[in-house]
Amino acid sequence: MPHGPTADWESAARRALKESGHRAGGARGAVVTLLGRQNCCLSAHEISDELHQAGTEVGIASIYRALEVLHGMGLVQRVEFGEGVARFEPVTPGGEHHHHAVCDRCGRVTPFEDDRLERHLDRLAGNLNHSMSGHDLVIHGRCRRCVAR
């Protein structure tokens, strides 16, 4: 089963924005379109850089406001890796998700999936008599490039 944002997420996000009375044009629309093409999380500044590289001039304050609305509606999740920078990624309608490996040297973020890990986490929650509504896993270390240096 495919994970990560797809055109389906973008359509669902635009529909949800419209139904809740929010416009889906301008900065908000640009952010939704960009996030719909990503396979992992981006910071507001990375979103700004990518939009500017594509020729879309959107101010950083507008990007933050768009992310705040999307986060408040449950359309994106905020991901933090302990470095003081919030990143955002789409919450897919089916609940599929991935985890992250973060290089402590260069900051590279690598998404990964592991069905066996998911089964173990479900079993662990059951052993703890805990109803699990979600989970996050971040592996810190060094990426291949930094280990090779």
Under CATH, which number does the domain 7-90 receive? 1.10.10.10
Q: Is 87:41 a contact under the CB 8 Å cutoff?
A: yes
CATH of 99-148, one of 3.30.310.50, 3.90.1300.10, 3.30.70.330, 3.30.1490.190: 3.30.1490.190
Partners of 138 in the β-ladder:
100
Angle (deg, nearest 10), helices 7-19 and 26-36: 150
Q: What residue segments make up the domains of the chain, in order of their start?
A: 7-90, 99-148
State pLDDT tens for residues 46-90.
999 999 999 999 999 999 999 999 999 999 999 888 778 899 999
Do 7-90 and 99-148 fold alike per CATH? no
Query: Rounded to 5 degrees, what angle do the CA atoms 71, 138, 65 make?
Result: 20
State pLDDT tens for residues 125-148.
999 999 887 788 889 999 999 999
Beta strands in 47-147 (DSSP E): 76-80, 86-90, 99-103, 109-112, 138-141
